[in-house]
Amino acid sequence: MEYVYAAMLLHSLGKEINEDSIKKVIASTGVEPDEGQIKAVVSALKDVDIDKIIKEAQSAPVAAQPAASQETHKEEKKEEPPAVKPEEAAAGLSNLFG
Which range of residues forms the domain containing residue 55? Answer: 2-59
In a domain, 89, yes or no: no
Q: How far out from the chain centre does Cα 96 lie? A: 52
Q: 36-86 pLDDT, tens per residue?
A: 999 999 999 999 999 998 898 888 787 777 766 555 556 666 677 677 666
- The total of structural domains in the chain comes to 1
In a domain, 72, yes or no: no
Going by C-beta distance under 8 Å and a sequence separation of 6 or more, which residues neighbour residue 50? 8, 11
In a domain, 29, yes or no: yes
In a domain, 51, yes or no: yes
Q: What CATH number is attached to the domain comprising 42?
A: 1.10.10.1410
In a domain, 74, yes or no: no
**Mean local confidence (pLDDT), 19-25:** 97
pTM score, whole prediction: 0.58
In a domain, 35, yes or no: yes
